[in-house]
A = this chain, B = another copy of it.
Amino acid sequence: MALSPARKPAARHRASAAHEALAGPAPTGKPGREPYNHERWLIAKMMRVAGHPPVRFRLWNDDVVEPEGREARFTLWLMDPRALYALVANPNLAFRDLYISGQLVVEGDLAQLTETLCQSIRTARQRWPRWLGALWRTQSQRPGHVDGERASLDHHASPGSRFYELWLDQAAMQFTCAYYERPENSLEQAQLAKLEHICRKLRLKPGMSVVEAGCGWGGLSRYMARHYGARVYAYSRSREQTQYARAEARKQGLDHLITYVNDDYLNIHGHYDAFVSVGLLEQLGQNHYAQLSDLIKCCLNPRGLALLHSIGRNRPMAMNTWIEDRIFSGACPPSIGQFIEICEHNDFSVLDVENLRLHYAQTLGHWLERFDRHRETITAMYNEQVTRSWQLYLAGLIAGFRSGSLQLFQVVFSHSNNNDIPYSRQDLYVFPATPEGL
């Protein structure tokens, strides 16, 4: 389970007056009036402030404003003068809503555009006067809405498994970062390699017991049961995902090895040889970390290993760039330091940290490609807004991972007095983790 796109931006963010004014009928696409000179000036000014990204504007009457002193790589179509005013008033708040409503249309690679804008603004904002930072602030109340996060876990599955089946991998239905042993590997290969890599990091052996917090559609637990003969207890709060996972385990003859529990991970009890959680942490608030740490302390056998896999950041920071804030409304990725606090809290010994940031960018690229391929089906299932919202979400995440504002950490740890730890990491790399013939 990864993050999901912001659902109710209006409820979450107090939009500016100019932005509110946009809440009108969808644009008709008719050629509009001539743009005023001050509107061209506004665009030029905005681009200067954003660090001159290679972006061309096409206006409602098909007039074009080229970027200053460089070749344009992307075109932003503004369908309506009101879109321009909303964008200038606060690009942080307006971009996503304009894109989703169709008042702003992107020509060019959406993921590359978001990455380019991210990097350009990140550099440029260092020179912004304070008033501009305040005007274009994202206004999210990030640290406060942590309990909202936990509630959003249930919403998470709301598009239904059918939706995700269209564009996630066909091998294990993974909505988390894959592991590309070779950059040319397919999404299916990389997702199975991720599962294998995790099993190896946990040094699984037949008969071991594993508990998984937040199991999604159960792909990891089935892999552990099928390939390692592990007995897995997998917790998910989503009823639909649990049902899906149980049906798959039955179908694959693995139900004698796996117990899917439709419950909060906090209700995990018993003792296990391994604890694993993939894609849960970024959805919890930091105020749940101590509880999670205590839970692992209780349920991990003295010689057991634990693995946490989560989106993270290089340092604690508010979600403050336009793409992240407007896209990540349901998540709170920990900084690596906050991640480590989970270990320090109970004197766990950190054995291994790996950062798979570029793998997540590639995973998202594969997802976006498939999503685009099923664009029409998805629009028919929902509507154009949902489709555009997800596209922008995936593209925005790519930008986050490529620009280094998001990281993907896998952390392995054990009780501090456990000397039965792996002597080195060589054994992780003896054989390819990617399955043959896929």
B-binding residues in A (CB < 8 A): 119, 179-181, 183, 314-316, 335-337, 340-341, 343-345, 347-355, 357-359, 402-405, 407, 409, 416-419, 421, 423-426, 428-430
Query: Which 3 residue pairs are nearest across A and B when measured between Cβ atoms?
Result: A353-B353, A429-B429, A315-B344
Inter-chain contacts of A424 with B (CB < 8 A)? 179-181, 359
Inter-chain contacts of A357 with B (CB < 8 A)? 349, 421
Inter-chain contacts of A337 with B (CB < 8 A)? 337, 340-341, 344
Among candidates B314, B345, B347, B359, residue contacting A344 with C-beta atoms closer than 8 Å: B314
Check B429–A404 contact: CB distance below 8 A: no
Check B316–A344 contact: CB distance below 8 A: yes
Check B429–A425 contact: CB distance below 8 A: yes
Check A347–B429 contact: CB distance below 8 A: no
Q: How far is the CB of A398 from chain B (nearest CB, A)?
A: 12
| New A-B pairs, 8, CB < 8 Å, besides A314-B347, A316-B344, A336-B350 | A180-B423, A336-B343, A337-B337, A353-B353, A357-B421, A358-B423, A425-B428, A428-B429
Check B335–A344 contact: CB distance below 8 A: yes
Check B404–A349 contact: CB distance below 8 A: yes
Which has the most chain B C-beta neighbours within 10 Å: A183, A335, A337? A337
Check A404–B425 contact: CB distance below 8 A: no
Check B429–A417 contact: CB distance below 8 A: no
Check B425–A314 contact: CB distance below 8 A: no
Q: How far is the CB of A320 from chain B (nearest CB, A)?
A: 13
Inter-chain CA distance A355–B419, complex, in Å, is 12
Inter-chain contacts of A119 with B (CB < 8 A)? 417
Inter-chain CA distance A67–B316, complex, in Å, is 52
Among candidates B181, B347, B349, B409, residue contacting A355 with C-beta atoms closer than 8 Å: B349
Q: Chain B: which residue is nearest A344 at the CB level?
A: B315
Inter-chain contacts of A179 with B (CB < 8 A)? 424
Check B417–A404 contact: CB distance below 8 A: yes
Q: How far is the CB of A230 from chain B (nearest CB, A)?
A: 24
Q: If A336-B343, A426-B181 touch, does A314 touch B348 (CB 8 Å cutoff)?
A: yes
Among candidates B402, B419, B428, residue contacting A404 with C-beta atoms closer than 8 Å: B419
Inter-chain CA distance A210–B91, complex, in Å, is 43
Inter-chain CA distance A180–B202, complex, in Å, is 21
Q: How far is the CB of A291 from chain B (nearest CB, A)?
A: 17
Check B429–A402 contact: CB distance below 8 A: no
Inter-chain CA distance A142–B344, complex, in Å, is 20
Q: Chain B: which residue is nearest A402 at the CB level?
A: B419
22 sample A-B contacts, Cβ–Cβ < 8 Å, listed by A number: A119-B417, A179-B424, A180-B423, A314-B343, A314-B349, A315-B345, A316-B344, A337-B341, A349-B355, A349-B407, A350-B407, A350-B409, A351-B354, A352-B353, A352-B354, A352-B355, A358-B419, A358-B423, A359-B423, A405-B416, A425-B425, A429-B429
Q: Chain B: which residue is nearest A335 at the CB level?
A: B344
Check B351–A355 contact: CB distance below 8 A: yes
